[in-house]
Structure 1
């Protein structure tokens, strides 16, 4: 019979000790199995010496209003990261939102003030652009093709415009949504050539999937991958799976690929600051 040795104390992973003083943070999503932020936020809390912990909050859209109302009276709650499918709905439930969140029409982080007021902000787009820069990709002067019209795609579009791209082609299954986004971008950034596109990404330096297509194995591709060209950079906002079908198709063509986790890596510090860590 083999003897199983007890692990040495130094080998046992450090566990966050929950006390009666621990501040609670959440990641608000539905479902929550794919979320990646809690480990990173919890590491930041430990590094900064904060008695706080982030936990998943799996809330269905039909229950969102009632749940958010309860957060106002949860005195140990400091705030949450907000992700699919709640980024747009959360705006109307906040007492105050940043100009960036208002422009985008979505918030991805909410802070609870001491008096119970909820303040929303939008850090998706900033995190995406900084993630590109962190990998040595500068977007200024680039031509970009962006698929999607949801909260993440809106945030990425505004951040890319702010970062100095010269052309932005928007594509989405529901055309009226991207027409609304295009109109907002043309008003805010008149120097940028904003166009409505199709599933054809040709003629662009950077191709971005700003949709959730690729999270499930049965999802169709968000664009016509057969038209990708080797000189393109193809980027994702999806973090799980790390290599989506689109990124695999791009890699097969010879494109440079950019992972969704780079956006999260650069958002975490910003989110931690916003949530008071």
Structure 2
């Protein structure tokens, strides 16, 4: 039941019809007894600045979730950021403080690592291959570094983009070995697909080196389909596979806490 006491939250995207977050977040609010509701808003890029500035005056707004294509552009519209958002160059959750200030965070990567953790996978000390250096890839790279991986190889079509990401992560986490390179699938403890390849049935695989084996983990950031062609190939070779859905579920918890919902336990 929505009343005058209900705390409001929103998610913005372009387009908006595909997003799964409202169902997940509203289920979470109900489960912890929080009087709040998350609603979707379809915001075009040319209207982003006007929309964000309007939110500063909404006294009953707790915050907003940001998804494609706004994660990069919204960074400059925040008053401050927490964690690695500034270094990553993107924001996907914003808290509205009582004074109207907007505080951004980037939780894609933390949600991914937390999703691994709840399934008993500790990445500390692992040799990891990360496929993709885009927005999701950058967030996951920083989160893997923060979690203590020993070695991180970034595989991307643009070597310059992979090198730039490696340099930014290394500047914040100088103790890890990180560089652009080739998958070298057989030697990895963990392979992560942070590209969009696998969303469509006719997509190519995100790597051609398919030397998967039973002593490694292959993980997806893609949620639908649940079993992507990459995961199917890895499972057929005996590797342990990790689906994309835990990333969303853990990220939802982190987003809610960032937006001030203290009744949600730590992820």
With normalisation by structure 1, the TM-score equals 0.85
Q: 1:266 aligns with which of 250, 255, 258?
A: 250
> Does 2:203 match 1:224?
no
What SS is found at the alignment partner of 1:226?
A: coil
Quick one: distance in 1 between partners of 2:209 and 2:42?
Answer: 33
Q: Which residue of structure 2 aligns with residue 241 of structure 1?
A: 225
What SS is found at the alignment partner of 2:122?
A: coil
Quick one: distance in 1 between partners of 2:196 and 2:233?
Answer: 17
What SS is found at the alignment partner of 2:128?
A: strand
> Does 2:144 match 1:160?
yes
Quick one: distance in 2 between partners of 1:175 and 1:112?
Answer: 38
In the TM superposition, what are the counterparts of 1:17-166 in structure 2 within 5 Å? 17-166=1-150
Alignment check: 8 A CA contact 2:129 2:183 kept: no
Q: Quick check: which has more Rg, 1 or 2? A: 1
Q: Deviations over 1:140-182 (max 9, x none)?
A: 1110000122222112111111211111000112222211111
> Does 2:236 match 1:252?
yes
Q: Structure 1 226/48 Cα, relative in aligned 2: closer, same or farther at 3 Å?
A: closer
Alignment check: 8 A CA contact 1:29 1:58 kept: yes
Q: Which residue of structure 2 aligns with residue 4 of structure 1?
A: none
Q: Which residue of structure 2 aligns with residue 5 of structure 1?
A: none
Alignment check: 8 A CA contact 1:73 1:116 kept: yes
Alignment check: 8 A CA contact 2:163 2:179 kept: no
Question: Please, which runs of 5 or more residues in structure 2 have no aligned partner?
Answer: 262-267
Quick one: distance in 2 between partners of 1:68 and 1:165?
Answer: 36
Alignment check: 8 A CA contact 2:185 2:212 kept: yes
Alignment check: 8 A CA contact 1:158 1:185 kept: yes
Aligned length: 261
Q: CA RMSD in A?
A: 2.1
What SS is found at the alignment partner of 2:233?
A: helix
Q: Structure 1 61/231 Cα, relative in aligned 2: closer, same or farther at 3 Å?
A: farther
What SS is found at the alignment partner of 1:241?
A: coil
Report the Cα offset of residue 243 of structure 1. 1.8
